[in-house]
Amino acid sequence: MTMSEIKVLSSGGVTGTIGFVAGAARGGIKTEGNDVGLIACERHFARAAAVFTRNQVKAAPVLVSARHAAGEFVAGIVFSAGNANCCTGERGTENARRMCELAAAKIGCRPHEILVCSTGIIGHQLPMDKVEDGISKIQLTRGDETDQAVARASMTTDTVPKHFAAQREIDGKMVTVGGQAKGVGMIGPDMAPLAAQSTWHATMLAFLTTDAQVEKTRLQSTLERIVERTFNSVTVDGDTSTNDSCFLLAGGQSGVEINDANQMEFDELLESVCVELAKKVARDGEGATKLVTIEVAGAATESDAKKIALTIANSPLVKTAIFGRDPNWGRLAMAAGRAGVVFDAGKLSIQLGDVEVFRNGEPTNFDLHAAEAAMQPPDLTIKVLMGEGEASWRAWTCDFSYDYVKINAEYHT
């Protein structure tokens, strides 16, 4: 079995999956465009898996969704953009619950069968009249235009909608995973299930649908495993949001049940969708001019490799050098060294694209023009080889530009 058996849907998202419909409308929370959305399982009894931000300050919808995701079935996901409903106290919780009621009334299920998300500014109450007005106008449909509209409705400072779908045959039948994501700033997701956390709050939102049939415990562990390798390995600024949420709804309409024998095939399919969405998030990072993939290999453990990859991916000095297209491998060595992982710097090697600039702790006699040329492409891969073992990890980031400062110094309270 090879990854090449996975077929990318030419255009697709959450309704690329059989059995799901969605819609978006404008309530008026954002200054322009649609700002509320709804994704629904037509059968009303999808299995749901969810992970939420590990941030100790958790938004009201995170708390409400965590409770609802624990139930037997979930019928849909409602979301709003422009206001995070975070640090809003009891009234915030009531408003998140009210969003579930509105969505439930719309699709004909019970309020606790709805998952809810919000994204936007922290510390302001949701304008519920606008939210209600928006949700009342939503029309549930399917297709490419719907997928794009629903992905677009969740955007805040995002510049492009992010959606993707892929399918593969499992046990002789076609299984699809569709998804959408939003988030370009306050991006350093670190999501885990609520039960594994001590307290709560998230702004990368990712919604995934599949027509595979998956038992609830299996669905949750699958999502956790794949999120760790994808969304939890993407960063723009390392600032883990109070609202980050990722939901996976499994409707089962394909008739293919996931079991120990075909789990890996399903993992690969789900990961292919999450990787694409994670890369879209990094590529659209606030002010980004480049998508940067950091590959760390030869580490003693996966945990070590992940720490090193994310420390490099979050280093302001690395990110500004990449913006300046400077083959400044010294900053890469510095960032690897400050990751809190013990290693022998004398075994460290670094490649910029295909150019090896550092080998076993010393600079190679590389051609500066080749190294400079390696820094030019809009998609850049940096490889760090530790020489300590066989574990590897991949992280995605973007460069740090004047526009990042502009966007975040001018986005006023």
| Full strand arrangement of the beta sheet holding 245-250 | 7-8, 162-170, 173-182, 205-210, 245-250, 47-53, 191-192
Q: Is 188 near a copy of itself (CB under 8 A)? A: yes
Which of 158, 190, 265, 268 touches a copy of itself by CB under 8 A?
190
Residue 194: count other Cβ atoms within 10 Å of its Cβ.
Answer: 18
Among 67, 345, 367, 376, binds a copy of itself (CB under 8 A): 345
Q: Which of 40, 41, 109, 186 binds a copy of itself (CB under 8 A)?
A: 186
Q: Is 342 in the site for a copy of itself (CB under 8 A)?
A: yes
Closest to a copy of itself by CB, 79 or 404: 404
Active site residue ranges: 203
CA 33 to each of CA 1, 13, 113: distance values in angstroms, whole numbers, following the listed order: 43, 19, 27
Sheet holding 362-363, edge to edge: 362-363, 355-359, 349-352, 379-385, 291-299, 391-398
Residue (of 205, 23, 232) closest to 118 by Cα position: 205
Q: Residue 161, Cα to own-chain centre: how many angstroms?
A: 13
Contact string (CB under 8 A) for a copy of itself, positions 122-161, x = contact: xx--------------------------------------
Quote the tokens at residue 221.
């562990």
Q: Segment 241-270, which members bind a copy of itself (CB under 8 A)?
A: 241-242
* CA-wise closest residue to 136 among 94, 116, 96, 107: 107
Q: Check binding of 87 to a copy of itself (CB under 8 A).
A: yes
Span 361-400, contacts to a copy of itself by CB under 8 A: 361-363, 368, 371, 400
Residue 211 CB, nearest distance to a copy of itself (Å)? 35
Longest dimension (CA), the chain: 68
Per the structure block, which two tokens stand in for 335? 């960032």
How many residues bind a copy of itself (CB under 8 A)? The answer is 71
- Of 334, 370, 373, 391, the one binding a copy of itself by CB under 8 A: 334
> Hey, which residues between 27 and 86 contact a copy of itself (CB under 8 A)?
54-58, 84, 86
CB of 233 to a copy of itself, least distance (A): 16
Are 170 and 262 spatial neighbours (Cβ–Cβ below 8 Å)?
yes
Nearer CB in complex with a copy of itself: 22/86: 86
By the rule CB under 8 A, 88 interacts with a copy of itself? yes
Query: What is the number of alpha carbons within 13 Å of residue 248 lying toward its C-beta?
Result: 32
| Site for a copy of itself contains 201 (CB under 8 A) | yes
Q: Cβ closer to a copy of itself: 255 or 316?
A: 316
Residues 209-238 that bind a copy of itself (CB under 8 A): 237-238
Tell me the C-alpha distance between 229 and 296, whole Å. 13
Q: Which stretch binds a copy of itself (CB under 8 A): 6-14, 109-117, 263-271, 313-321?
A: 313-321
Both tokens of residue 278?
């994670």
Q: Pick from 138, 348, 382, 385: which binds a copy of itself (CB under 8 A)?
A: 348
Query: How far is 345 from 335, CA to CA, in rounded Å?
Result: 12
User: Which residue in this structure is represented by tokens 């992982």?
Assistant: 341
Q: Does 338 bind a copy of itself (CB under 8 A)?
A: yes
Q: How far is the CB of 246 from a copy of itself (least distance, A)?
A: 17
